[in-house]
Amino acid sequence: MGEIKVLKTDARGRISLPRSFRKEPLFEYTIKGNQITLYPVRTVRKYPDMSDLPSEELSSEWTEREKKVNKDMRPGIRAATPSEALKKAKK
C-alpha cells in the first residue's frame, strides 16, 4: 500500500477498489482538492474528542425537577437483540 495508484472509473462513474480493500465493510474518507483518500474503519462507533469541552455541574433544582418528570431510574439493559433484552429483563 506504500505506492500510489490512480483508480479509473467505469462508464457509470464507479471505481473498483484494490484487492486489499475489497473485503473492508466500512471506509472513512478525506477530500483534499481533487483527491479522495480512503481509510478502512475497523469499528462503527467513533466518538468525537470532547476533552476540550468544559464540564458542567447540574444544579440540585434541575435534578429535582428531572426526578419528578422521569421517575424511572432503572439501569439500562445491554443486549444484542430484543429477545435477549426481554430475557435479561425477566431475571
Average pLDDT on 44-54 reads 72
pLDDT at 1 over 60: no
Does the model's pTM come out above 0.85? no
CA–CA distance, 90 with 56 (Å, rounded to integer)? 36
pLDDT attached to residue 43: 63
Question: Within 13 Å and on the Cβ side, how many CA atoms surround 63?
Answer: 4
Q: What percent of the chain is predicted at pLDDT more than 90?
A: 1
Confidence of residue 32 (pLDDT cuts 50, 70, 90): confident
pLDDT at 47 over 70: no
Q: What percent of the chain is predicted at pLDDT more than 70?
A: 88
Q: Give the residue carrying C-alpha cell 473485503.
A: 23
Mean pLDDT of the chain: 79
pLDDT attached to residue 10: 81
CA–CA distance, 27 with 37 (Å, rounded to integer)? 10
CA–CA distance, 9 with 89 (Å, rounded to integer)? 52
pLDDT at 31 over 70: yes
